[in-house]
Structure 1
Amino acid sequence: SIRITVLGSYKPGTFTVSSLNTLFNALYVSGGPAANGSYREIELLRNNQIERKVDLYKLLQTGSQEDNVRLQENDIIRIPVYKNRVEIAGEVKRPGIFEILPGETVEDLLRFASGFTESAYKASIKVIQLTDKEKKVTDINQDAYDLHSPHTGDYFEVSKILNRYQNRVKINGAVFRPGNFELSPNLTVAQLIRKAEGLREDAFTKRAQIIRLKEDLTPEIISFDVSAVLNNTADFLLKREDEVIISSIFDLKDEYNVSIQGEVRKPGNYKHVENLTLKDLILLGGGFTYAAYPQRIEIARVIKRDTLTKEDVRLSEIIDIKDINDLSYSANNLSLQPFDVVTVRRLPGYLELKSVVISGQVQYPGPYVLASRSERVSDLLKRAGGFAPEAYPGAAFLKRKNENSFKDELDSARVKKIQGELRDSTKEIVSEVSRPYDQIALDLVYIITHPGSDADLILKPEDELFVPRNDEAIKISGQVLSPTQSPYRKGDNVADYISNAGGFTDDARKSKVYVLYPNGKAARTKHFLFVRSYPQVKSGSEIIVPKVRLKVNNKSITETIAVATAVAGLAAVVLGIIQLTK
């Protein structure tokens, strides 16, 4: 081991290192040059003499190891304070602060910064220098990069090139190669069109435009005849930044469409082309569906009028097609005009097959296709083979999907309006009106014995009939001491089951106890004079005891106290006035 000393580093001091260590190892151990230390004039002192001056830029720029010499006992590495630092920013690859030695120039500084970026303005560099009193700006031209010597504190800024072209013209529109082109000497419009590979077949040759910038950069339009230019009878020279626009004939007219709807496989809008016929459009629409009625097709056509009179109230011309069942080419065809709307009607007696589902305790649960439009619950039970042994018919219910129809939207709108008039801001009512499903309670025992009655509902597509298993438990919930379940005992009433749950709590609202039956029905407690009559309890029911609302005369306790305080204060004022008037 050897002992060395490092001065001017981030961690100066004396270090004991291996005799195989080099100067760069010692700089690493000591943290490198301090904030104001020099990177380029580091001194290695040996026997009180300067053994070597080290420039770390050689290592950082080229990876050179020529100054990485081996250290000896009592060597001193001295890092002096820098003499000349400058900063370069902008369009260079490595912007930053660099140390400059005497005799080095701006060209060396650019080399330290790894040169210009691709978009740098290389013709000159702007430098902000510090004088004894103030700052000054100096422009250094490209031919002086190797002559100008930077001074400490200089700030060099490399700008971007201008976002403009010195020799560009443009051509767009109905040419084969639109885009930017070089403005060569004496370039004409005809030559530019040839550079763009010529006109497309759809080019409008009667009139085109050149957008040209004036001296004050305001645009102007110059119109010309494309045919005359190409015939060299009216050609003219282009200027920098001219843009030639040649329109397509399709840009100068509406895009015509026709549409087909109804019983075709791909209804929608299609582009109208010349000689398009009704059969062509049906084929574009994928042909008829299975439910199509080719003997009933309508074509709605736009009416062209010179004037609109009070007597003429027509919106369109309706053309009835009686038979177009054969889509092969024949004389029985009709040419279509732009904006025609073709409607293929459905067979009058065609109805899609719809299914319902029966689940739970029946012999054959599963989906069933409706046999008729008037099929009822009793019919579905017969098809399902009747009840299973553990079925509970009294708890059966029908789950029916609510279609999001126009009527539902009107009902929701009416409810919102009524709530607004009543100043009711709750959202539960609106959500109930627009709920996706309904649970309809059924009395299957009565339905089986009275098929076709009003209770025997007509089924709708996607209905689901559920027959649950017999549940012998009664559930007690809400404001009771111990919410629980209790076995069903015939003859027990609500009070008996609440007693099994420990009785009412102090917050129980005894007069509003209600029972939920397994088929979805609900029954509440009734009152006659001072007699309270609880609803009947059936197997599988749930008894719910609500909580007392902390309100007095529809006002909360806080509101009641505030009103009482105000009344008491007013009474005191009145009594005071009476005493003064005596």
Structure 2
Amino acid sequence: MQHTTAVSKRAAAFVLSAGLVLAGSLATAQTGAAPAPAAQATPAQQAPTVNTGTPAATQTRSAGSNTQQQQNNFDPVTGRRLTDTDRTPQDKDNTTVERTGATQPLSEFQQLVATSTGRTLPIYGASLFGGVPSTFAPVDDLAVAADYTLGPGDQIHVQVFGQVNLDATYNVDRTGSIFIPSVGTFHVAGLKFSQLADYLRTQLGHVYRNFDLTVNMGQLRSIPVFILGQAVRPGSYTIGSLSTLLNALFASGGPTPQGSLRDIQVKRAGKTVIDFDLYDLLLHGDKSNDIRLEPGDVIFIPQVGPQVAISGSVSTPAIYELHGETSLKQLVDLAGGFTNVASIASARLERIYEHTERSIIDLDLTASATTQLRNGDIVTISPILGRFKDAITLRGNVANPGRYVWHEGMRLLDLIPSRDALVTRNYYDKLNQLGSVTTQAANPDKTGELGVRSGIVAAPTTGGNSSSGAPVAAALTDTNTPFAAVNDVVLPAPDIDWSYAVISRQSKVDLTTSLLAFSPGKLFLEGDQTQNLELLPGDVVTIFSKADIRVPVRQQTRFIRLEGEFNAPGTYSVLPGETLRQLLRRVGGLTPDAYLFASQFTRESTRRVEVQRQQDFADSLDAQIASATASLANSAIGTNDPTASTADARQAVARLRRIQPMGRIVLSLLPDSRTVDDVPDLVLEDGDRFIVPRTPSSVSVQGQVYNANAFLFERGKRVKGYLHQAGGPDRLADKKRMFVVRADGSVYSQQYGNVVHANIFPGDTIVVPPILTRSNLLRNIIGLTSVASSVGFNLAALVYLTR
């Protein structure tokens, strides 16, 4: 095809994806040129050869075939012969032509619809011309229909066999005739292809006898047509003679947003021969009016007709052109009908009133289906509300949450028939997992790893420098076996909150929401019918667990873990109001080897507070490092101290942040405490852990001494004696700030007496800190965090050293 407007001269021809194939080879003539001249007979054309009994060798060719080289020499759209300057590298290699589709701007009505509905609606059918192929390869071997009319420029391939042999291709000249040597000239223009074989057989029969004949079409002629009006690329086109109206529309890019899709006209010899409605193809797949074009045809796309928009809950929201449709029902049919969530009792019609203003009309589609539409109307179909009719919602800590059918007189026990319905499915899932054989249990190489472990109750074993506070009890109760602890008591799910549940209800009068509280414990455990409240449609019943709302301590499900020197160590449930001393008596008390002074009582709530305080302290150290760094940048102080670099100080603070607090509570026990009666009456919380070690046999000396080590405990020996064993304080030691971390976690410092002469008990740790000076803040921080990491003393001691 050739396009005479300002469009890329090698725009790609394309085909309709539903199966419309551009028929015939594209002509090579320029637009407006005279019809193709009559070609001379090809080398295969020859005078008929009389059969003398010896078969003559003949050359056969496929009807309408062209060599690849011939295809490469012509633009498949314009038909113009290509030169090297016209070709891109891709054209030279693949002989494909790129088509760049321009995005059409929104029409004025589309902009109005977008403003009204909040979404941009497409013009129905316009997308058919948007996603076109970007390349095209000419098709030259399509079958020719029986009703194809021959004309100048067509090629005819004739094969004769029998008494006479003939295999030649003839071009129909401008007069509509072909010339067969030794036979004559015959006028074939205007004949149907189905008539051609009989016609030539009759003409050759005047000269020859006893022969048979076959006829095929070769290269087909090109025809000039005009595409005018509201086309994307109007102009004159030279197209294949098998091309139809749709082929030409696709080549021109289709109608513009201002062009009609429903009244596309084909004019021939001054008369309109067809009015093509593209909706017939789009909605019904009907292309019966897609006629074959003839030379000189004019395809005219008029202005778009009346347009209406429909959005919301219809199958195909879009802007539709009306062409005989007048009612709202007909518009809904064009849009594919209502969706399954459409509210047919609620619709809105926006209308332009006498080109002056806009108005809104509410429609009941059950009674307004015959409402007459006008140009510019905008119809919005609303979806149904998400409200359930006669339904109750059950949610929260229940086995089967969901929506249930409400009936007259329905009460809570009708919705939740028994207390078993309050146990969640997750509880049983977790419970079943506890009884499963895990992969670790099935692997004999991983010795000791059996069962399912949970972190609900058990706290990680502390030791070394991983936690703050003296880990004496944990260290002394750890075993030396190679087996890892993997089993623990597991709470599969949080317990039910028996004291509080609620019904959420919306008033039908003022739509306010109220909460009706009830006690599941009284209803299901005590059978109190006053708690069996009546339910109404739309109610939402919520059952809580003890993890949802913080209940009083006495109502909480509490577990405590006892480890070490107990007659029956393990994990125990805490009874309401039970204290630590009472629980120890109930479970069997302590062994004779128990060393209560070094016991370790940890609590999760305390640990969380310590974590926050530790981070605050680390933040303050970071601020001091920043201040010291700024001071060093403006002075020469510290330039000869390479060990106190800013980077080292920041790394030291980072190490401090990694220290995990234990949440230890000092029980203020005496060194000679031995019985349960010495244990304080401490109120227990869930997750508490109490470790009681055996009596240790050593005392540790850490910090700035010549031989930091653990030494055998000797009754009556004081701090001075253990310092002597450790070689005494070194030259960097701050003797005035020495302190003792007791086995129970408390600290004894110079503020409370002479540390050198202080008594020492089994499990105590003597700490000799480094000398701290204001001028060497960065080095001080490095030294303090180093001591804190190696000794593991608590945060209070560290703050004391920084004063």
TM-score, L = length of structure 1: 0.49
Q: TM-score, normalised by structure 2?
A: 0.38
The structure richer in strand per residue is 1
